[in-house]
A and B are shown apart, each in its own frame.
Chain A
Amino acid sequence: DAKTTQPPSMDCAEGRAANLPCNHSTISGNEYVYWYRQIHSQGPQYIIHGLKNNETNEMASLIITEDRKSSTLILPHATLRDTAVYYCIVRASNQAGTALIFGKGTTLSVSS
């Protein structure tokens, strides 16, 4: 899996958009970009993933640069419940037998 780099922490005011960046300059052509988060003492939560195109679902939007070397996860209206550690993972699709490797991630703190 390609290596990813994320800022260790970010702050966001409640109701504002949270934009979480991720660098993955060594990404291969068959590797997807995934975002997960883990709220303290809970299980990891899948958020969104993409290959080349920007993606949006009910939780977030994922913007991938044209060269695919970086991406941004956007939480459009952050709430206090979005306070969590966010993990950007780059991973090929055919890896059922290997664990998801979470790096250190970005700790997002949302405050009122």
Chain B
Amino acid sequence: NAGVTQTPKFRVLKTGQSMTLLCAQDMNHEYMYWYRQDPGMGLRLIHYSVGEGTTAKGEVPDGYNVSRLKKQNFLLGLESAAPSQTSVYFCASSYSNSGNGQYFGPGTRLTVT
């Protein structure tokens, strides 16, 4: 079991460039999440999905889009990167949310210059 994996691990973008972060899980979890973590800000939920083909906005969705075409994958897209999107991005997954914990990936460290 690889658990939750994220690619890439690091990326540097110029303002205005686009990119996609990939999250994959092999635990057959229904729910998947994208968070960002900034110093002193804690985890902030960007988007989440409760099943294949469904997505929903979290607390800070602006500037990001997501897709969940397959149950095991959850993609996070930045269409036009901004310096404010410099952060560490974590993907997580869980069984349907009846009291189960969330399993996190190792993170993607993104810098936008």
Interface residues of A (CB under 8 A from B): 32, 34, 36, 42-49, 51, 93-102
Q: In the complex, A51→B98 CA distance in Å?
A: 11
Are A95 and B58 in contact, CB atoms less than 8 angstroms apart? no
Specify which chain A residues have a CB less than 8 angstroms from the CB of B103 in the assembled complex: 46
B104 part of interface (Cβ distance < 8 Å):
yes
Question: Are A32 and B48 in contact (CB-based, < 8 A)?
Answer: no
Bound Cα distance from A36 to B59, whole angstroms: 21
Task: Given A42-B106, A43-B90, decide whether A96 and B35 contact each other with a Cβ distance below 8 A.
Answer: no
Interface contact A96-B31, CB-CB below 8 Å: yes
B69 at interface, CB cutoff 8 A: no
Q: How many A-B residue contacts, CB cutoff 8 Å?
A: 58
A99 and B107 contact, CB distance less than 8 A: no
B interface list, Cβ under 8 A from A: 4, 31, 35, 42-45, 48, 50, 56, 58-59, 90, 92, 97-107
Residue of B nearest to A91 (CB): B99
Query: Is A43 a contact partner of B107 (Cβ separation < 8 A)?
Result: yes
**CB-defined contacts of A43 to chain B, threshold 8 Å:** 4, 90, 92, 104-107
Contact of A97 among B35, B56, B105, B106 (CB under 8 A): B56
Which residues of B are found within 8 Å of A48, using beta-carbon distances?
101
Determine whether the beta carbon of A44 is less than 8 Å from that of B58: no
8 A-B residue pairs with CB within 8 Å: A32-B99, A34-B101, A43-B107, A46-B102, A49-B99, A93-B99, A96-B31, A97-B45
Shortest beta-carbon contacts, A-B, top 9: A46-B101, A99-B45, A43-B104, A93-B99, A96-B97, A44-B104, A43-B107, A32-B99, A43-B90
The residue on B at minimum CB distance from A94 is B97
Q: How far is the CA of A36 from the CA of B101 in the complex (A)?
A: 9
Residues of A within 8 A of B101 (CB): 34, 36, 46-49
Complex Cα distance A102/B92, Å? Answer: 15
Q: Whole-angstrom distance from the CB of A31 to the nearest CB of chain B?
A: 10
